[in-house]
A and B are shown apart, each in its own frame.
Chain A
C-alpha cells in the first residue's frame, strides 16, 4: 500500500465522509488548532526569549522551562489531535502540497530538537551564551516554519 493509498483510505473512511458533510466542523477544529498555536507560542517564546537575553531575562532558563513545560505539552497534544483531524479531512490534497511536507518535516525536527538539544541547553543555561542564542533561534525558526507551512496549506 503506497502512502497515497493510505491517505486516500483515511480520507474516505465513513467517519471522515460524515465529518466533511458538516460545514462548520472543519472551522471549529481549526479554531481549537489556533488555541494550540497560542499555548505553544506563549511557552516557546518565554523560554527562547530568555535564551536570547530578552523577556524574563532575570530568571534562570531552567526555571522558566520547568514552569512552561506542562503548558507546552498541553499545546502540542491539542495541536497533534486537531491537526490530525484537519489532515484527515483533505488527506489526498495534502499529499500533493509542498507546504504540508515542509510542515511535517519541520514539526518532527522541532519536536526532537525541543526534547533533546533545547532541553539540555536550557537546563544548564545560567547566563546568556552564544550556544543559548543559537539554540533559541533554531527553535524559533523551526516553529515559525511549522506555523507558516500550516498557514500556506490553507491557501488557494
Chain B
C-alpha cells in the first residue's frame, strides 16, 4: 500500500470527513493546538535559556529540568494529539504541503537534539549543575533547540499560506 493510497483511505474515513466538515470541532482543536504552544514551547524555552546561562542562573539546572520538563512533556502530548487530529482532518492536503513537511523534518531534528543532550552534557550534569553558565555542549543544545522551535512555529504558522508562497 503506497503512502498516497493509505492517505486517501484515511481521508475517506467518516471521522476524517466529519472533522474536516465540522463547523466548530476543527477550530476547537486548532485553538487547543495554538494555546498549548505557550505551555509546551514556553516551558521548553525556560529550560533552554537555563542551558544557555541566560535565566534562572542561580537555580540548579537539574532542578529547572525536573520541575519544568513534566509540563513540557504534558504540553507536547497535547500538541501531538491536536496536531494529529488536524492532520487526520486533511491528510492529503497536509502531505502535499511543503511547510508541513518542513515542520515534520524539523521536529525530527529537535528530537535528535534532545537525544544528543541526554547522551552527552546531561551525563555529567553533577559537574556543572550549579554553574551559572553551563558548558559548551549544553549551551549548543539549548541554543539549537530555541532556533528549531522558532523554525517549527514559523513552518506551522505558514501551512495555510502555502499557495501564497509557491504559486
A residues with CB within 8 A of B: 23-24, 27, 30-31, 34-35, 37-46, 49, 55-59, 63-64, 67-68, 70-71, 144, 147-148, 151-152, 155
Q: B: which residues have CB within 8 A of A?
A: 27, 30-31, 34-35, 37-39, 41-46, 49, 55-59, 63-64, 67-68, 71, 149-150, 153-154, 157-158, 160-161, 164-165
Min CB–CB distance A62 → chain B (angstroms): 12
Chain B residues positioned under 8 Å from A71 (CB to CB): 49, 55
CB-based contact A67/B161 at 8 Å = no
| CB < 8 Å neighbour of B154 from A31, A58, A68, A151 | A31
Instruction: Contact check, B42 vs A148: say whether CB atoms are below 8 A apart.
Output: no
Name the CB-closest residue of B to A33. Answer: B157
Contacting pair B154 A24 (CB below 8 A): no
Apart from A31-B153, A40-B42, what are 12 other A-B pairs with CB-CB below 8 Å? A27-B161, A35-B150, A37-B38, A38-B45, A41-B41, A42-B44, A43-B46, A44-B42, A56-B64, A59-B63, A63-B59, A71-B49
Please pick, from A63, A68, A70, the residue contacting B46 in the complex, using a CB distance under 8 A.
A68
**How far apart sit A144 and B45, CA to CA, in the bound complex (Å)?**
19
